[in-house]
Amino acid sequence: MLKRICLITMLLAGSLACANAGEERIDLDTVRKNGVLRHLGVPYANFVSGDGQGMSCDLIRLFAQRIGVDYQYVETSWSNVIGDLVGQKVSPDGENIHLLGETPVRGDIISNGLTVLPWRQKVLNYSKPTFPTGVWLIASSTGENRPIVPSGNMDEDISNVKKKLKGKSVVGIKNTCLDPSLYDISATGADVRYFQGSMNDLAPMVIGGDIDYALLDVPDALVALEKWPGKTIVIGPVSQPQLMGVAFRKESLELQAAFDSFLTELKANGEYAELMKQYYPGLSYYFPDFISGQD
């Protein structure tokens, strides 16, 4: 099985290389030659706002300064962001992918709270971890909704959360970290629904009573708890802890190495912790080790 997975990964990498053979290789030297770092970002939580502000925008601006180029924000969408980086339309199929044809390359780097998922790793290289995350089940604070009592065992907590789902409506977003199929939500007997809009709209659906439960990852849940205090609650986890990172093309090894070095320095001097606290003040309560640099 392991040999088969490795072979599939090699074939996919080869397919991407052939597809992009006619294009200029994009790496650190290319970015410096062009004089600009194109930051692909999806408006999401406090990472990227609609006007190009947010934690990810601040981070990539600092990195652009570090490598001596201008910064350019390029807005994209969850369905297009990977294609905008690698030049190929990509469709996930479980932990595998399908390449659906060429598309223009619009950016050099993705940063908007991108969760590390196995299918994404087949076409992207990730930086060192930039943010701790995981997927939580949230509900309206009204009615009989109650959080689970933490057991100290993540598998048991996830099981207890899923026991609440039979006959209930649960909404997520396909082909993202909030895709219910990644967590076997349909096996619980839940009424699984897929939302076509923005992740930012999931919490209001729960608050408004349009849906019983929603899947939210940690950053968006923290924003919802702060934005609508007393109106939403976290029932518990539906995934093991996950990590987010900045994404690069497979060929952009020097650009990735430069970013990893830059990120290591920001974490060491405390500047990155301050950036996280600025945009996610509640993060230290849930992930104190990551904030303190122990992760």
Which pLDDT score, from 0 to 100, does residue 1 have? 42
Whether residue 283 is predicted with pLDDT greater than 90 in this model: the reply is no
The pLDDT value recorded for residue 2 is: 38
Q: Quick one: residue 228, left, alpha or beta (phi over 0 = left, psi -120 to 50 = alpha)?
A: beta
Average pLDDT for 223-239 = 92
CA–CA gap between residue 179 and residue 189 (Å, rounded): 16
* Dihedral angle of Cα 199, 205, 210, 214, to the nearest 10 degrees: 60
β-pair partners for 135: 217
15 pLDDT higher than 80: no
Nearest to 251 by CA among 98, 84, 108, 69: 108
| pLDDT for 119 beyond 80 | yes
Over residues 34-49, the pLDDT tens digits come to 999 999 999 988 999 8
Helix axis angle, 253-268 to 55-67, nearest 10°: 110
What pLDDT does 102 receive?
93
Task: Report all structural domains of the chain as residue ranges with CATH numbers, in order of start.
Answer: 2-132+244-291 (3.40.190.10), 135-237 (3.40.190.10)
244 φ, ψ to 5°?
-110, 160
Of residues 160 and 290, the one with the higher pLDDT is 160
Amino acid making up residue 191: D
What pTM was computed for the model? 0.83
pLDDT above 70 covers a percentage of the chain that reads 91
104: its two tokens: 């223009």
The pLDDT value given to residue 93? 81
Non-local CB neighbours of 90 within 8 Å, separated by 6+ positions:
82, 83, 97, 98, 99, 100, 123
| β-strand partners of 139 | 213, 233
Average pLDDT (275-295) is 81
Burial of 123 (0-12, 13-18, 19+ CB in 10 A): buried
Mean pLDDT of 66-75: 97
Q: Does the pLDDT of residue 87 top 80, yes or no?
A: yes
How are beta strands 96-102 and 135-140 bridged, if at all? Answer: unpaired
Residue 294 has pLDDT above 80, yes or no: no
- Give the whole-number percent of the chain exceeding pLDDT 90: 67
* pLDDT, average across residues 140-168: 93
Residue 238 has pLDDT above 70, yes or no: yes
Q: Is the pLDDT of residue 189 over 90?
A: yes
User: Looking at the predicted structure, is the pLDDT value of residue 11 above 70?
Assistant: no
Q: Pick 244 or 98 by higher pLDDT.
A: 244
Does 190 score more than 90 pLDDT? yes
Q: What mean pLDDT, rounded, does the chain reach?
A: 88
Other beta carbons within 10 Å of 101: 8
At residue 92, the pLDDT reads 85
Q: What is the pLDDT of residue 164?
A: 94
Q: Is the dihedral of CA 18, 122, 12, 3 positive or negative?
A: positive
